[in-house]
Structure 1
Amino acid sequence: MIIDTTLMIESIPFVLKGLPYTLLISVASFLLGSVLASLIYLLRLLNNGLINAILIVYSSFFRGIPAIVLLFALYFGLPMQINPVLASILCFGLTSSAFLSEIFKSSMHSVNHGQWEASRALGMKNTLIVKDIIMPQAIRIAIAPMSNVAIDLVKGSSLAAMITVTDIFQQAKIIGGREFNFLSMYFLVACIYWILCILIEKIQYSLEKRFPILS
């Protein structure tokens, strides 16, 4: 079977009808993951042995299980079936939070510890040190790895098609089945995901240029 470029071009409008779902799942999952990751980092600052142990297990679990297993568990395994888009957002939000929490922790720890000492010597409180001195620098450091998570979420959102979400991948499958040419449609949707990831990379480069890491 050869790639039918005519079919691909004619199918673009139909496939792009699924783009809002792809973007919704990706963006909402990233925001949910960021909020949960921030909460995890703040809880770690408490230095409570039990809480830290729970958070370590949480992070290890959601980094270690395949996203599709969690997705199926949320959609098919719960006593009451939830909306497939909500199940997708919860799935990718939980998994991304585990990765983002490690990014936040490593970024905060990457800031020169001497800045803590200098700020305390000036009489600044810890909350102000974190807010005004450490966090702005940590965010700059975290831009690249957070962009990688965002790219993974865009690509991973294609799994939502497995639970009937009509995203761009599901739309492509519909035409592929109707025209008996899955290869052409898979190539088309691969190009669309590629373009989305390139856009995220452009945003990353723009942010890195605007907020350079201080030496």
Structure 2
Amino acid sequence: MERLQVDEKVDFEVVTKEEGIIYKFLKRLLDLICSLLGLIVLSPVLLIVAILIKLESRGPVVFSQKRVGLNGNEFKMYKFRSMVVNAEKLKAKLVKQNEMSGPMFKMKDDPRVTKVGRFIRKTSIDELPQLINVLKGDMSLVGPRPSLPKEVENFESWMLDRLSVKPGLTCYWQVSGRNNIDFEDWMKLDLQYVEDRSFLLDLKLIFKTFFVLFGDKNAC
């Protein structure tokens, strides 16, 4: 996939297409099979990571956070805790160091991240508990990354079309540079997925995501 250029003139007035019955069925079937198998096969990894997090710092191993899903409905998204327990309180002091444009907060050398947290973020292992969200149907394996409610409140109207599909574990943004892509281009990539989506594309993005597990230099 060619990365979108900032100055590229593209009409992003997305007209959401109706998902075909076959595609919808195959996508959900893939979600169920892969998330269930993933949780079973990766259970030793999940257990080891849970122990390491618990040994390094106090607090929950997995935390849940409200995110915005399909059609704007909120759900609880699960992640391995990669930060200190008072991370949200400390965030106020770091706002000026935000390295992401738009309403998102991203900081490469975030002091709130623990040692174990840096490793599981670098390998995207911190996202693995979201396989539970996929199994429950809150998320899909492939789709725009779920945003926080306060982030969605600051979206421009054209960005809201990304909520017409289920959020996912991976997407164009996840395999195309992540934190090296600014906020507006990230949203454009999500809308491009809404337009391009197909079972074959989902398989392609899942395959590409495996390389991220071996360490993504753009993760933080």
Measured against the shorter chain, the TM-score band is under 0.3
Comparing both structures, which one devotes a greater share of its residues to strand?
2
Higher normalized helix content (fraction of residues): 1
User: Structure with the greater relative contact order (CA < 8 A, sep ≥ 6): 1 or 2?
Assistant: 1
TM-score by length of 2: 0.27
Rg larger in structure: 1
